Amino acid sequence: METGGNSLPSGPDGVKRKVSYFYDPEIGNYYYGQGHPMKPHRIRMTHALLAHYGLLQHMHVLKPNPAREKDLCRFHADDYVSFLRCITPETQQDQLRQLKRFNVGEDCPVFDGLYSFCQTYAGGSVGGAVKLNHGHCDIAVNWAGGLHHAKKCEASGFCYVNDIVLAILELLKVHERVLYVDIDIHHGDGVEEAFYTTDRVMTVSFHKFGDYFPGTGDLRDLGFGKGKYYSLNVPLDDGIDDDSYQSLFKPIMGKVMEVFRPGAVVLQCGADSLSGDRLGCFNLSIKGHAECVRYMRSFNVPLLLLGGGGYTIRNVARCWCYETGVALGMELEDKMPQHEYFEYFGPDYTLHVAPSNMENKNSRQILEDIRTKLLDNLAKLQHAPSVPFQERPPDTEHPEADEDQDEEDGKWDPDSDVNMDGDDRVPLSSGVKREYVEPESKETDDMDEDERPREADPMLTESAGLKEPNSVFAAVDEPNVKLEPGNSSKPFDQPVDKNP
């Protein structure tokens, strides 16, 4: 078996992994608006499948602590985050200039609870990074995250806050190098742009290219300055099938793991690359899509799995349920168990669906040329870069609620989905979350020695912002962490489990 990066204590590929799964039961209540293809309800459907396939009892189930304004501002501009916090459907007509400035209004509409939605999905991704940093799990999962188009100063492509960039910044506090892999049908432009000039983050995106949103991700886009050759783009055409996709994915990612040797991997599992997606044009089966998860898992490197696109929501739920099983090392029965969304999956009521007979426009020669070019570029990286490490920056405060209920086996009851709230949040009658007071932090005296916050690394104390809002080349020279003035050495709260 090919291996790479830092080995985990869990051992070889056949051994079960310790998985932390982040889910907020309110996530499915957010609504982009009538006719909008992005439907957070798909996360609730995924969770229901996980519950009824019996997967929750094999994972540490956690409700994410919402990301605070200062957490979001570690990457995003202060005025943009402030705008997201204040804008409402009732006030948007008074802020037309700001809406245009921040690209909010059409693809990225204003809806009830928008800011809480951003806090929730970003909190899950950063919380997963914190769990991985402390070695509390081998794999962390946040299917609500993966919103890869958001930029420092603007929304884009249904994405408002770039939870992926925030999670990578958290991982960089511990790991010298972090790998980002994107299998959404759309180019992962927001993440690539954020790290375009650094050699500490390698971004690899497999996507449809050519007259397709967002229009970036050319094979020739390689990174800039110190980041040259640390951005890899795999441009694909309509109809790519499982075999063609894996003929690129495995040799390229195998070489990336060998050359870059990341300490952690973030895999964005956008499900709009599946066959039959409402907005997509690829022809991957769920097993073909999940093979990417299985392959990255096999390297035994700390792994953060995130969601992303996916607009035929019954297939999104199927895909992410199956991929959670892959993360756990469990094979799931194709016959779907009865559950509250069972009618969505008719007439077959199966986990897997057959791909279509659409034409694969990716010829063998084109695929070979892409593979050869990218492997040549990777050969120009002589060895994994290293950075002088000093003290580790403090952790982001994420004392997320532990959703494992107090039962004899300490595992989650799949039938108790609606009663997961372990804090004082009270949903509004409309189903939109209200903001709530941050729970008090756990005192540092109660922490294990390896969980105490460290002084900030001087390399990570400047802004993580782009030099210009929308320039691909004006990216983060070093993926730095913005700390509030006067608080650079203030201890951050640690994630607290009610049942550690």
Asked about 148 being catalytic, the answer comes back as no
Sign of the Cα torsion 359, 218, 304, 278 reads negative
Q: What are phi and psi of 305, to 5 degrees?
A: -100, 125
**Which candidate, 329, 305, 337, places its Cα nearest to that of 131?**
305
Residue 482 to residue 136: CA distance in whole angstroms = 25
Contact 457, 389 (CB under 8 A): yes
Contact 453, 401 (CB under 8 A): no
**Which candidate, 207, 344, 351, places its Cα nearest to that of 286?**
351
Token duo for residue 78: 């202060």
Active-site residue identified among 41, 58, 76, 149? 149
CA angle 500, 126, 226 (to 5 degrees): 135
285: left (phi over 0), alpha (psi -120 to 50) or beta: beta
Q: How many C-beta neighbours within 10 Å does residue 381 have?
A: 17
CA 311, distance to chain mean position in Å, is 17
Beta carbons within 8 Å of 408's beta carbon, 6+ residues apart: none
**Which candidate, 155, 84, 165, places its Cα nearest to that of 475?**
165
The partner residues of 201 in beta bridges, in order of sequence, read 178
Residue 118 to residue 106: CA distance in whole angstroms = 17
Q: What per-residue string of b and e applies to 439-448 under the rule 16 or more CB within 10 Å gives b?
A: eeebeeeeee
Contact 456, 483 (CB under 8 A): yes
Which residues are catalytically annotated?
149
